[in-house]
Structure 1
């Protein structure tokens, strides 16, 4: 599996460019590299109108709550290193994405609007869980992208205990390692293994404009055959279209669709 260079430096510019890539192109390029499923199925944005984003994963792992282990430290108004949830909220860096492994259990929220507000003010890029949040209406009004499966009012203490921070986790059945790149848009969340991120970025920046061009031709009435997937002639047409300024009116002449075979 050729997945690029492990530990390659990923800059804010790389992340900004990845944010502009489509999840369809990202997952296609990941598939080409051998990563079959990196999309978090069922995890949706509370506010789909927020801009797309990309950031490094900071993970939080939940396990089932147990009465003799839960200190209920969140109910005390003082710093407590045993309260790993608040430690994580105060530790995550600007531009990072908090990925919360809720074990696909949405019976209780993993956090609500106050912790979200704190992370928003600290410059966090997004928050993702395969469980639920509370205060969904308030969170949907924030500028912090938040993705979950459900919204419930039940407190985390009912079913969840924060066991670890910044360790490998599973979120919606996808493995997420600290430092992986998390991409979010209206369609959902894709996790890009860190060592593949730059290779995926370069491929997507080639793929997205090409697919936009192919869509124009299909919209104009051409059949799939010979257009999608693109052949050598289609790619040459695309190169000419780009050289003309990438404007629809400058695209090569669209061939009439083939007559239906009776």
Structure 2
């Protein structure tokens, strides 16, 4: 069960504070998601418990079909071979979805339809080791996305999602992510907080932020800037 208060507190601090706290617990750079995985738009503040997905690249030839036949083929693919419900049924408030797309950057795994569905469920965001499409609409709905690339294709004929590959250890941008770890993201990128130290790291990160604010206060007062 997710501690939504813990998620809220993580969302209110900076990735930099979390990274500094993790340094002090000996985790250092191995918890940093590669800065090649970037926020789709600025101003994102995201935190949540990881629901993980390891998607598989498909090595098959596309069938030669009429448009109508391809519609049926696509429907069957989404129903049987890439059913998003395998992981979406685990997603809700306090959850960040973490997807390893097997290095397939051209696939638009995440689009505005599933983004709207996730937003309606209260999902906190998604971190993709791959591509997102419908990017204009994703920005319009303000669903937090961190991705490696802008993809254009659908998953049909390219990617499979198997139920046994949901909530398993994955690697996202060089960082290991286990189900239930905390993912924190902002304009600086994404960091992984191992679940066993989530509470301690949060307290230390809040302390880091408060110390920083105390140091900044004379300059903030002088300039009239509010952070």
In the superposition, the TM-score normalised over structure 2's length comes to 0.81
CA distance in 2, matches of 1:215, 1:49: 21
Q: Which has the higher contact order (CA 8 A, sep 6+)?
A: 2
**Structure with the higher helix share, 1 or 2:** 2
Alignment partner of 1:25 is 2:24 = no
How far apart are 1:96 and its partner, in Å?
A: 0.7
The residue that corresponds to 2:37 in the other structure is 43
The residue that corresponds to 1:149 in the other structure is 148
SS at match of 2:97: strand
Q: Is the 8 A contact 1:10 1:198 kept in 2?
A: no
Choose which of 40, 51, 58 in structure 2 pairs with 1:65: 58
How far apart are 1:77 and its partner, in Å?
A: 7.0
The residue that corresponds to 1:131 in the other structure is 130
The residue that corresponds to 1:184 in the other structure is 185
Structure with higher Rg: it is 1
Could you say what the CA RMSD is over the residues aligned between the two structures, in angstroms? 2.7
| Runs of 5+ consecutive residues of structure 2 not aligned to the other structure | 62-70, 223-227
Q: Is the 8 A contact 2:17 2:208 kept in 1?
A: yes
Cα deviation, 1:20-78, whole Å, max 9, x if unaligned, reads 1111111111122121222222111112134x12111001111221329xxx9982279
Paired positions, count? 210
SS at match of 1:131: strand
SS at match of 1:166: coil
Alignment partner of 1:110 is 2:79 = no
CA distance in 2, matches of 1:46, 1:165: 24
Q: Is the 8 A contact 1:73 1:82 kept in 2?
A: no
SS at match of 2:48: strand
CA distance in 1, matches of 2:50, 2:221: 38
Check 1:27–1:99 CA distance in 2 against 1; reply closer, same or farther (3 A cut).
same
Q: Is the 8 A contact 1:43 1:129 kept in 2?
A: yes
Q: Is the 8 A contact 1:112 1:133 kept in 2?
A: yes
SS at match of 2:84: helix
CA distance in 1, matches of 2:114, 2:72: 15
Q: Is the 8 A contact 1:73 1:80 kept in 2?
A: no
CA distance in 2, matches of 1:181, 1:147: 15
The residue that corresponds to 2:198 in the other structure is 197
CA distance in 2, matches of 1:154, 1:79: 14
| Runs of 5+ consecutive residues of structure 1 not aligned to the other structure | 1-8, 220-246, 250-262
In the superposition, the TM-score normalised over structure 1's length comes to 0.71
SS at match of 1:18: helix
How far apart are 1:103 and its partner, in Å?
A: 3.0
The residue that corresponds to 2:5 in the other structure is 13
Check 1:79–1:157 CA distance in 2 against 1; reply closer, same or farther (3 A cut).
closer
